[in-house]
Structure 1
Amino acid sequence: MDKEIVELRDVVDYVTDQETSDSPEESNYSNRKSVYTALRQTHLPKLDDLDIIEYDKARGEMRLTPRAEQVRMYLEYVPENDIPWHVHYLGLTALSGLLVLTTHLGLYPFSIGWGTLTGILVLMFGVSSIVHTYQSRRSRLRDMDFAPLTE
């Protein structure tokens, strides 16, 4: 487990950057203060109570505990060179719309006919759904995989 110490200000910067479209230089004081307050008063103490992080409030430092690995499995994990499923389905929908439009307008070479188009669309979404279902079932937690919180 990574024992790297992270400072509160770095976490505040990261969360503020993720929640706002501003660049780090443009993140205004009120955004940073709001994130800082929420983290310091609520989120970090709760994560510390659950033994997910070790949080030193006085020093404004934290580090992950081994318990953090058990929590990670409940988050949507997308490998670096992969895309999330919602983006995949959004792309399929855009492609489908483009195919429908080009077929409707009769634009060559995409004027393939409505029957063929329907088959292609059903095949695209069907294969995607089967793969998505397979991957979801493969990563589904069973009762024996769940590590309950200990008091």
Structure 2
Amino acid sequence: MSSQTTVIDGRLSKGEIFDVLRNQRRRFVLQYLKRRGEPVELGDLATQVAAWEYRTPCEKVTSEQRKRVYTTLQQTHLPRMAEANIIEYDSDSGLIQPTTRTKDLSIYLEIVPGSELPWREYYLSLGAVSCALCAAVWGNVYPFTVLPDVAWAMLISVSFTVSAAIHIYYEQNMRLGDLEVPPELDLE
């Protein structure tokens, strides 16, 4: 997305949203805005983002760290997010506030730490294993003939149900704004 992005009917494509949000600092801005739920001052925002980036309490953020974050937020990140209507940014007053679009963006952000398997790949794998299991049961392949067919069907059903319940529980803690710190920092 370039600085010439146009918002048609108040909507951005998924590609444009991902382009804006691929930057960690912008995700930190959203985290802070969603937690606060009200307009914030650029100075406060810069201090908190610097604290997350440098993994230090807000009180220990140096003036150099804060200034570095403040400057890039003011000159680059906030104007770009405002252009996409993800936030409202008044450069004169230094106030930033969420828009109706801000809260909807978390559905586009799946935080997958390190070597962890994304849920979509997990379900694809579980489906493939289930299909192979069904084929083995249907083809009367030993040892899959030891249990009745209904037991295998029950095993598959329970596997998907338990997986979905774990996924729901896990996802509740992975949304921007739901935790004190951004999900990508909480996992490390």
Higher normalized contact order (CA 8 Å, seq sep 6+, divided by chain length)? 2
